[in-house]
Amino acid sequence: MWRANGRAWRVAAAAAVVVGALGAVSYAQQPGPGRGPGPGWGPEFHGQRGRAFGPGGRLGIPLGQLELTDAQRQQVAAIVEGHRAEMRQLAERSREARQAVRQASEAQPFDENAVRAASNGLAAVMADGAVLRAKVRAEVLGVLTDEQRAKAAQLGAQAEQRMQQRKQRMEERRQQRLQQRQQNPGGIG
**What whole-number distance in Å separates Cα of residue 64 and Cα of residue 5?**
41
pLDDT digits (tens, 9 = 90+) for 57-79: 567 788 888 889 999 999 999 99
* Pair 164, 74 in one domain: no
Whole-number pLDDT of residue 39: 37
* Pair 87, 106 in one domain: yes
* Mean pLDDT of all residues belonging to the chain: 78
* Per-residue DSSP letter, 54: S
User: Cβ distance 11 to 94 under 8 Å?
Assistant: no
More confident residue, 36 or 97: 97
What region, left, alpha or beta, does residue 184 occupy, with left being phi > 0 and alpha being psi -120 to 50 degrees? beta
Amino acid at 51: R
- Distinct helix (H) and strand (E) counts, the chain: 5, 0
Domain total in the chain: 2
pLDDT digits (tens, 9 = 90+) for 108-167: 999 999 999 999 999 999 999 999 999 999 999 999 999 999 998 899 889 899 999 999
Q: How confident is the model at residue 6 (pLDDT cuts 50, 70, 90)?
A: low
User: Cβ distance 80 to 136 under 8 Å?
Assistant: yes
* Pair 151, 139 in one domain: no
Q: Answer whether residue 13 is part of any domain.
A: yes
* Pair 182, 102 in one domain: no
* Pair 184, 124 in one domain: no
Residue 178 pLDDT exceeds 80: yes
